[in-house]
């Protein structure tokens, strides 16, 4: 039996209550693509906190604790400053707040590139300290040996090819990839390499649509698109982007809400009531008992 979480209105803290639902597994995600086709596309969103996970979990197949938390949560200029400790803290919170989705935690820059052994040390710590089901790392052919090393030792790996944010300095920015024939071929080769190495799925980000379609058709593992194509086996977005928390977002983001506007308007009403001394009112204060 897995665990779901509800808010205790007396304490405003999440307390576990049993839920008769089994969490999805990595093999279940893999089986969604059968004979090269995925009848029902896979849904993945990022999550960084327990409460966010609670709200997203029932709607998703996978929750990604992305290193995008560096920018979204901490206001850092890129993902490069994110640490292993940060990923573990947020990964554990998301696992605690979910009961249905497969939780995948990004491996931050510098925690896996040096060697397969370094990657195993980092990945095993992530999984042990968060309870997540898998890790994600960036890179194609260059990371194939590392992916094989981890997979053979019981650590499921989701790969990430195309536009890889951790390599932004080498790529020269966040522009779409695959505009040259050479780059087109490399993205396809990268995707095939990680699939052959044992990755259970691969994210393809910021590539020309024909490349995403070709990659999806050429590998047996699920291909999760972001800025790619609706023909991929699934989709992922940064949750805060699609909720409308930020004014500037990548071109491939569709804003499904205006949460930033709701927060700003709500804070403005609160500030007005505080300054006019209409809050707190009788309902929010403790009055002497009548004798």
In the chain, the domains with their CATH numbers are 2-284 (3.20.20.60)
136 annotated to a ligand binding site: yes
154 Rama class: left (phi>0) / alpha (psi -120 to 50) / beta = left
7 phi and psi, to 5 degrees?
Answer: -80, 125
pTM for the whole thing? 0.91
> How is 147-212 classified by DSSP, letter by letter?
HHHHHTTT--EEEEEES-GGGHHHHTSSPPB--SHHHHHHHHHHHHHHHHHT-SEEEEESB-HHHH
Residue 138 is assigned to a ligand binding site: yes
Other C-beta atoms lying within 10 Å of the C-beta of residue 54: 20
Q: What gap in Å lies between CA 161 and CA 241, rounded to an integer? A: 21
Q: Which of 35, 121, 129, 205 is catalytic?
A: 205
Chain-centroid distance of CA 123 in Å reads 16
Per-position DSSP letters for 31-58, written without gaps between them: HTEETTEESS-EEEEE--SHHHHHHHHT
Residue 165 has what pLDDT? 82
134, β-bridge pairs:
104
* Rounded Cα distance, 113 and 110, in Å: 6
The predicted-structure confidence for 82-136, as pLDDT tens digits, reads as follows 999 999 999 999 999 999 999 999 999 999 999 999 999 999 999 999 999 999 9
pLDDT in tens, 12-37: 556 555 455 689 999 999 999 999 99
Residue 205 known to be catalytic: yes
């Amino acid at each position: 039996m897995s665990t779901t979480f509800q808010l205790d209105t007396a304490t405003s803290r999440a307390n576990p209550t049993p839920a008769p639902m089994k969490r999805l597994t990595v093999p279940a995600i893999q089986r969604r693509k059968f004979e090269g086709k995925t009848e029902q596309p896979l849904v993945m969103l990022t999550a960084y906190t327990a409460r966010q996970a609670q709200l997203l979990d029932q709607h998703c197949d996978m929750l990604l604790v992305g290193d995008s938390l560096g920018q979204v949560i901490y206001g850092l200029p890129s993902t490069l400053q994110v640490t292993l400790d940060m990923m573990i803290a947020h990964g554990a919170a998301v696992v605690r707040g979910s009961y249905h989705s497969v939780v995948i935690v990004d491996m931050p820059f510098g925690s896996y590139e040096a060697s397969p052994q370094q990657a195993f040390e980092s990945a095993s710590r992530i999984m042990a300290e968060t309870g997540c089901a898998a890790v994600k790392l960036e890179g194609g052919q260059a990371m194939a040996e590392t992916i094989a090393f981890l997979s053979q030792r019981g650590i499921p790996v989701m790969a990430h090819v195309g536009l890889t944010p951790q390599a932004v300095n080498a790529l020269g920015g966040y522009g779409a990839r695959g505009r040259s024939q050479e780059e087109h071929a490399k993205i396809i080769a990268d995707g095939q390499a990680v699939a052959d190495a044992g990755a259970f799925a691969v994210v393809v980000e910021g590539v020309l649509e024909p490349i995403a379609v070709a990659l999806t058709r050429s590998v047996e593992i699920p291909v999760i698109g972001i800025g790619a194509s609706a023909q991929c086996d699934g989709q992922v977005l940064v949750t805060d982007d699609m909720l409308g928390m930020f004014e500037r977002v990548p071109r491939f983001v569709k804003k499904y809400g205006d949460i930033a506007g709701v927060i700003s308007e709500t804070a403005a009403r609160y500030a007005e009531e505080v300054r006019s001394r209409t809050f707190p009112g009788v309902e929010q204060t403790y009055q002497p008992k009548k004798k």
